Structure 1
Amino acid sequence: MTIEVGADRKVSRRSFMKWSGIAGGSAALVATTAHLGMPGIGTAANSDGMLDAEQTVWSACLVNCGARCPLRFQVKDGTVARVLPDNTGGDEIGNHRIPACPRGRSIRQRIYSPDRIKKPLKRKPGTKRGDEQWEEISWEQALDEIAEKYQQLLADYGPESQFYAYATGVIAGTVSGSYYGGALQRLLKKMGGFLSYYGDYSTGGITEAMRVTLGGYIDSNSTDDLVNSKLYVLWGHSPMETKMCGGSEAFYAQKLIRDTNVRTIVVDPRHSDSVQLMADEHVALKPGTDAALIAGIAHVLISEDLHEQEFLDEYCVGFDESTLPEGAPENSSYRAYVMGDGPDGIEKTPEWASSVTGTPVDTIVKFARELGNNKPSMIHQGWGAQRCANGENQSRAIITLNAMLGNVGLPGGGAGTYPGSSAVTINSAFDADPNPVTKKISHFTWPDAIDHGAEMKGEDGVRDWDEDGNPIWDPQLEVPIKAIWAYGSNTLINQHSDINGTKELLRDDSKCELIVLCDNQMTSSAKFADYVLPGTSNAEEGDVVQQGLAANMGYSIVATKAIDPLYESKTIYEICTELARRLGIEEEFTEGKTQEDWARQIIEDSREANPGMPGYDELQEMGVWKVDNGARVALREFREDPEANPLDTPSGKIEIYSAEVARKAEEWNLPDGDVVTALPEQINTWEDFEAAKTNSEFPLQMISYHFKGRTHSSYGNVPWLKQAHRQVIWINPVDAKPRGIENGDEVIVYNGRGQTKVEAKVTPRIFPGVTTLPEGAWYNPDKDGVDQGGGPNVLTKYHPTALAKSNPQYTNLVEVKKA
């Protein structure tokens, strides 16, 4: 018996039944993994898996958790029958195992998901995007029509009208990559380029904070350097949820804390899993008040002479009046702001900070003294604080605190930013071409560029550079976005703010005239495309996999194709090659190479930068190559000789006071409620803790967090993970009781933008007045428009942050009621 699964792809009944078995058996998995939210730090069991497997090949989990775990696919009867973890290395940091978390281990349920896109789809004429009215068409028709429409839009509007959507579903791929580089971006570059973006949904605020303060994106010391630290602070960072694979922080941070006995403090509005499993103390605060907490800490440090004045004098701009840049107003230093000599006249005492943050005065003073008396301290700043409407200032404040402590450039210290690692360098000639379109918009403002792109300029987030690489002060877009290319992306709907508003914009195809999406799952974003192309899973193609966060260990993986493409799916390289043929640039695009040829060249080109790196064939056989590159110490050269190794800021120093931001504050015409400040001040914004006090209709703050059951929305449709990690909204008992809400109740979370239905978790682990709903749940509206998936983005506001024009998805006011 055979079962049709595509026009020219058939599967035996035996294989089909194995696929069906893969989708079942969830109770057994949940029984074994319900208490395994993240890997432990003990010795893994030695196992070779199925003895009757026909082959075992190396691959990896390619999604955007930051880890990039190796996987071993065991193949039988043409199907992936079992997924095994990395079995190389040991428990010694620098050559440690990289066992995948339950997400990667459940990848078979993604490969064989009923949500797989099986054939090319075209939106039926006369229907609206999102109506889910499709015609199944041939690849030839799909590619012919896409190429024709693309060429017409290029002729009418130019390459600036073509937008490559933010996409991290295949972030770890190289030829198949969806983030920086990859086949689709290469194709668009060869055709004259595309409108790109700066920043991203993960790091938009902190990226801008680092740029204006440190001169660019600079990760901090790697976590293995904790052996030199006297205090460890995780600020808005929960690696036990976000980096929970065995090769990332969930493994080595726990091990280092245990081995060094370093005191660990977590700053977070939530009593997160990292607080439970890693911390000696939890400093809780209201969302959006981190800069106020730091100002209160700074007041103690200054008053008790616990800051590093010599470091601030030599390496920083704007902490004191004497180091302000020329033209800065009097009393505009950070010291003046903290001590009450600045324009607002408010002394930022611990008592003041407590009134803003809700953190007890004694806790603030104690925390400040611990920081001041335990140097160097390692402050690892996560990406939670910067995802608020005032996120740039929150992130800048944390970097400023780190500078006050003199931690910069020292073993055991760091830059006060996200944890870094000592990575393997991958040199990809495949991605070497520059984008001919130099203008960029924020990753978050593409709806504005669709709606009124030709009106957007510098104060709206448009950026451009001259031929020498110097930024142009007030660039402007010439045309709106007329086409969106989305590959491995769910940001058109699911991951973007204000889903209901975004839907209405995308439904108007007179604005954006073409949306092409390639994926292997029918996501909510796919439902708003004009053409949906079935892409392969990583089990169905080979590539060079770029590593994730692994402390002092660099590693590289060669992934091998395990099974033939399912249904009518094609690799993105094959799709782009076919499009290139229709566009008359096939030879220029492929250079006569197959995808494997490119992968071989990438490994060969990378060997010179990585001594000891094996060749392609050897690496393919061994699967993963690991090398101890030593601890990363961020800005070591700058600390040793700041004149010979200046930062890429105007002064070459750490700019606590930013003259660039001061100029923008004077010249930009910002929407009401938006403020940018030269210093990392506490800023009140729309729908923040202060607004909640007077909003009787929506009095609760709502933040989000990254969830163990998903990586953003990837794996969000896997039944095993949905059972093991239920979507719930946390609400404090003091907020639940007057609403008659008990633990486990179904509730409706709502505001003026939308409604979502979800289970309530009544817990003191969230700050009173605050709720938290994990991001990434798949949008699933009922006939009345109420999201049944429990996702937060029907509630979040589309309002780009003032400075970075980033996503403020942790600044929201809501109400909660029993369903």
Structure 2
Amino acid sequence: MSDQNVLWKRPVTRRKFLTLGVAAAGLATGSYLFWKDGFTLTSFSGETAVDEKIVRTSGSHNCGGRCLIQVHVRDGRIVRISTEDDIPDTPQKPQLRGCLRCRSYRERLYHPDRLKYPMKRVGKRGEGNFERITWDEALDTIAGHTQRIRQQYGPDGIYIQYGWGNSGRVSERVWMERLLGLQGGYLSYYGNYSTACTHMATPYTYGTTNTGNNREDWLNSKVIILLGWNPAETIHGTNTTYYLKRAKAAGAKIITIDPIYSNTAISLADQWIPIRPTTDSALLDAMAYVMITEDLHDQKFLDQYCLGFDEDHMPPGIPAGNSYRSYVLGDSEDNTPKTPAWAEAITGIPQETIIQLAREYATNRPGALIEGYGPQRHAYGEQVVRSGIALAAMTGNVGVKGGWASGSGYQARGNFVASIPAANPHKAQISVFSWPDAIVRGKGMGSELSVKGARQLNSNIKLIFNLGGNCLVTQHADNNGTAKILADENLVEFLVVSEQFLTPSAKFADILLPADNMMERDDIVTPWGWGDYVLYMNKAVDTVFECRNGYDWISDLAGRLGLKEKFTEGRTLEQWLRYLVEETAKKNPGFPSYEEFTRNGVYRWEHKEPAIAFQKQIEDPQNNPFPTPSGKIEIFSSRLWDMKNPREIPAVPKYVPAWEGPEDPLRETYPLQCIGHHYKRRVHSVFDNVDWMEEAGRQEVWVNALDAAERGLNDGELVKVYNDRGIIVLPVKVTSRIMPGVASVPQGAWWMPDAEGVDRRGSINTLTKYHPTPLAFGNPTHTNLVQITRA
């Protein structure tokens, strides 16, 4: 039997490196599709063997980092993984060194539960029962349903689900978008699960999401405030903590604001300020009150560059009392000054600390108020984004070295990397978070329900392609409610999943396809958000079993739809990758040849100075207006005013009390605010089934010692975390690293309900509510009230 049919083996211990085992007998259908048998072990000294080759590659999961991985291959098998260490590590060119996630990629590749063959569902959808079929049968079935649903329901009936388990330039979803576009189009989405609110709200003030200086510029900052941002674990661009350390060494004071005393706070912060979830905008509004009443704000900057800060700089026709200053001072409709005492009652932060923080930021210029994405993932997450921008403007920290415009914070300078041509002739889009609505009541959905590009949808979603993602169940809100929708075959009529494991989302597939691993394919990847480089993923080992690359099987699907010639243009996958390199080089003089790029595995752009967001607008405003309707920083937005929903979508940034927040009467029943922080042991839900990563970080609910004592909870024991939406059971971590009244369940754990529906793995989304935010229709992941008792 060839190496293509070798089975993976269960390890004796988690601390041993695995290799592929000896050849095994062939598989039948049914329950044997997931079987595991013995294994063989190999040891190594850590030194490169004579017969060992090193392949330079990277990862393509939706990780906050994008690192250079060196894969050590012997006899066609990966024996270990190292990272970039063969160039000098300098401040100008730091090594792209991988974290513990990168180091455990081998365990994921050789995991015994990896999917091996195409399968079709048997029994009810969602039960996870499948039988083996051939690729021909799988593709014939997919082609037939695709043609039928397009003819019966039109493009609104076909949806490619959000999911970035494979974020490469030639991933499965890229090819499916190209194919369905050639066939007549499909229903697409706008926004994303990570940054929905900031991605929507930031342009209402600045006209763009590119509001961040390059990280090198932090050396010029005197104070750096990290609001709900934990790059020590989310990474948020390889080497981000390195640049923060350099800034700290240069004299910057670093302050973290977070309900959790995070690894970033431990390693970098001079001060940790715990805050109740969903209340960040109340803190920022109170800081604005201090600046105004103590005359610490930059009125000259506000007069010249901003619209709507005070009554003297409002759009024509707006009644008095609607400026941001009026709101903050209590001269508006609510008649409530946003004093530090007011904010203390909401946020749990002592008013003395709020005053100190406001003074620190206002008087130590330039300063950077950097907003993480956690605070905007709540019921009214749009508001914290715009409140932070208002403070950046009030302190004159926009468009200057060492400053930070706040908001989305995407780099002001981007680097062009080509993409596969894919056009969708169908213009209707839904919010990325609103797909359950489009399944249940899609036909007739209009702009008031998150639809863009069309007056209304002409069909409910009937066909879903879920390619390399776990957002059907686990990464979407309300696992139990969403599972019921997906299980109803009268709603979604056909569901295709391409995956490497039988994830909770994959269990709902009608056709389940085994994907190749990133170590088994060539691709091109770019950093998550920050970083002036691009990486080539070199294939390290051959694909095994009947796993196939996305381009391979989607090309065959295109043939069944009569589109193969148009789809492939006669190119192999390597020729498409060469095309991407050539197109990239056209806009980047000096970009390497394909051969050089693949050999080095990385290309770094070099720039003389860091890019400063809005520097041209500040230095030469006459010739460089802000890309907003007024040409100014719109603290007051006429576009938001015209929406006529002042309570939930105010024209100036305001604190809006969250449902299931600290002021909700529901706290009498469910007294703890529960969030779901990112965790070093996973890339969202990727690696949740890898034993090594469980050693790095156990799935457990974090509870403050005071809350634990009140409930009689002991560290490490099993507890029940619950609300009206579901129950999870998992160990408790009793700690002083989380503020009282708050609990946190690390996000990304797979949804694993038992026969009674109790989630025994502990997915935070078993507890979250499907309730899109009012403007972005984004996910309010951190807006949950729960109770915790002994299990």
Taking structure 2 as the reference length, the TM-score comes to: 0.93
In 2, the alpha carbon distance for the partners of 1:334 and 1:620 equals 53
Deviation at 1:675, TM superposition (A): 2.0
Q: Judge which range, 607-616 or 563-572, deviates more.
A: 607-616
Distance 1:401 1:597, change over 3 A: same
1:656 aligns with 2:631: no
Find the partner of 1:797 among 748, 755, 769.
769
Q: Secondary structure at the match of 2:376?
A: helix
**Shift of residue 241, structure 1, vs aligned partner:** 1.0
Residues 614 and 24 of structure 1: CA distance in aligned 2, closer, same or farther (over 3 Å):
farther
2:144 to 126, 139, 148: 148
**2:583: which partner in 1?**
605
Contact 1:223 / 1:419 at 8 angstroms: preserved in 2?
no
Given that 2:219 and 2:246 are in contact with CA atoms closer than 8 Å, whether structure 1 keeps it comes out as no
CA distance in 2, matches of 1:510, 1:177: 27
Letter in 2 for 1:163: Y
Task: Tell me, in whole angstroms, the C-alpha distance in 2 between the residues paired with 1:218 and 1:419.
Answer: 6
The verdict on how the C-alpha distance between 1:361 and 1:174 changes in structure 2, with shifts beyond 3 A counting, is same
Could you tell me which residue of structure 1 aligns to residue 14 of structure 2?
26
* Aligned partner (choices 413, 438, 452) of residue 441 of structure 2: 452
1:521: how far off? 1.8
Moved more, 531-540 or 639-648: 639-648
Contact 1:486 1:516 in 2 (8 A): yes
Partner of 1:117, secondary structure, is coil
* Aligned match of 2:29: none
Structural mapping, 1:777-788, within 5 Å? 777-788=749-760
Aligned partner of 1:376 among 356, 366, 389: 366
Please name the residue that 1:308 is paired with: 298
Say if 1:161 and 1:743 are closer, same or farther in 2 by CA, change over 3 A. same
Residues 49, 84 of structure 1: 8 Å contact kept: no
1:184 counterpart residue number: 176
More displaced, 139-148 or 655-664?
A: 655-664
The alpha carbon displacement at 1:88 in A equals 3.9
Aligned residue runs from structure 1 range 412-561, under 5 A? 412-421=402-411, 425-428=415-418, 430-431=420-421, 433-464=422-453, 475-551=455-531, 554-561=532-539
Q: 1:576 to 1:186 in 2, by over 3 A?
A: same
In structure 2, give the amino acid aligned to 1:688. Answer: G
Counterpart in 1 of 2:110? 112
Q: CA deviation at 1:321?
A: 1.2
- State the AA in 2 paired with 1:439: A
Structure 2 distance, partners of 1:720, 1:212, is 44
2:32 matched to which residue of 1?
none
Other-structure match for 2:127:
131
Give the Cα separation in 2 of the matches to 1:492 and 1:177.
Answer: 17
Q: 1:647 aligns with which of 620, 626, 646?
A: 626
Per-residue deviation, 1:164:
1.2
Output one character per residue of 1:229-288: Cα deviation in whole Å (capped at 9) or x when no partner.
11111111010111088x321333223322x12111111111111111110011221111
Partner of 2:656: 683
The equivalent of 1:100 in structure 2 is 98
Structure 1 residue 576 corresponds to structure 2 residue 548: no
Contact 1:410 1:633 in 2 (8 A): yes
Residue number in structure 2 paired with 1:63: 61
Q: CA deviation at 1:109?
A: 1.1
Equivalent pairs counted in the alignment come to 763
The change in CA–CA distance for 1:269 and 1:786 in structure 2 (over 3 A counts) is same
Contact 1:423-1:547 at 8 Å conserved across structures: no
**Cα distance in 1 between the residues matched to 2:773 and 2:593:** 46
The alignment status of 1:753 with 2:717, answered yes or no, reads: no
Letter in 2 for 1:632: A
1:623 aligned to 2:611?
no
Q: CA deviation at 1:625?
A: 2.1
Residues 193 and 433, structure 2, Cα contact 8 Å, conserved in 1 = yes
1:208 aligns with 200
SS of residue in 2 equivalent to 1:197: strand
SS at match of 2:565: helix
- How far did residue 330 of structure 1 move? 1.4
Residues 288-315 of structure 1, C-alpha deviations (whole Å, 9 max, x = no match): 1111111110011011111111211222
**C-alpha deviations, 1:553-603, integer Å up to 9, x for none?**
x22222222211111010011111011111111111111111111111111
Who is 1:220 aligned against? 212
What is the aligned partner in structure 1 of residue 222 from structure 2?
230
Structure 2 counterpart of 1:468: none
- Check the 8 A contact 2:224/2:253 in 1, yes or no: yes
In the alignment, structure 2 segments of 5+ residues that lack a partner are 18-44
Note the alpha carbon deviations across 1:310-363, whole angstroms, 9 max, x for none: 211222111111222233221100000001101000011111111111100110
What do residues 683-707 of structure 1 show as CA deviations (whole Å, max 9, x unaligned)?
Answer: 012111111x553221111011110
Q: Is the 2:64–2:236 contact (alpha carbons within 8 Å) kept by the matching residues of 1?
A: no
CA contact (8 A) 1:120 1:534 kept: yes
Q: Does residue 776 in structure 1 map to residue 748 in structure 2?
A: yes
State whether residues 122 and 135 of structure 1, in contact with CA within 8 Å, keep that contact through their aligned partners in structure 2. yes
Alpha-carbon distance, 1:663 to partner: 2.0
Q: Does 1:334 align with 2:324?
A: yes
In structure 1, what is the Cα distance between the partners aligned to 2:713 and 2:138?
A: 51
Task: Find the aligned partners of 2:206 and 2:411 in 1 and give their Cα distance.
Answer: 18
Greater Cα offset, 315-324 or 628-637: 628-637
User: Any conservation in 2 of the 1:420–1:632 contact (CA below 8 Å)?
Assistant: no
SS at match of 1:652: coil
Counterparts of 1:460 and 1:605, CA distance in 2: 38
Displacement of 1:549 in angstroms is 4.6
Counterpart position of 1:256:
247
Q: Is 1:295 paired with 2:274?
A: no
Amino acid at match of 1:680: P
Q: Distance in 2 between matches of 1:757 and 1:451?
A: 30
Q: Which runs of 5+ in 1 are unaligned?
A: 30-46, 466-474, 668-673
Cα offset for 1:49?
4.2
- Please tell me whether the aligned partners of residues 412 and 612 of structure 2 are also in contact (alpha carbons under 8 angstroms): no
Give, as a single letter, the amino acid of the residue that structure 1 aligns with 2:185.
Answer: G
Give the direction of change, closer, same or farther, for the CA distance of 1:429–1:350 in structure 2 (3 Å limit): closer
Change (3 A) 1:92 1:543: same
Query: In structure 2, do the counterparts of structure 1 residues 549 and 325 end up closer, same or farther at CA, with 3 Å as the change threshold?
Result: same
CA distance in 1 between partners of 2:362 and 2:584 (Å): 43
Q: Is contact 2:287–2:358 with CA below 8 Å preserved after alignment?
A: yes
Structure 1 position 703 matched with structure 2 position 698 = no
| Aligned partner of residue 122 in structure 1, secondary structure | strand
Deviation at 1:66, TM superposition (A): 2.5
Percent identity at matched positions? Answer: 40
Corresponding residue for residue 42 of structure 1: none
Deviation, 1:393, is: 0.5
Q: Contact 2:5–2:544 at 8 Å: present in 1 too? A: no
Cα deviation for residue 505 of structure 1 reads 0.4
CA contact (8 A) 1:729 1:772 kept: yes
Q: Aligned-pair RMSD on alpha carbons?
A: 1.9
Which residue pairs with 1:40 in the alignment?
none
Partners of 1:101 and 1:244 within 8 A in 2: no
Aligned partner of 2:261 in structure 1 is: 271
Q: Deviations over 1:98-134 (max 9, x none)?
A: 111111110011111122111111112xx32111121
8 Å CA contact retained: 1:198, 1:440: yes
Q: CA deviation at 1:161?
A: 1.5
Residues 426 and 602, structure 1, Cα contact 8 Å, conserved in 2: no
Task: Please give the alpha-carbon distance, in whole angstroms, between the structure 2 residues aligned to 1:695 and 1:349.
Answer: 25
2: CA distance, partners of 1:254 / 1:288:
29
Matched letter for residue 616 of structure 1: Y
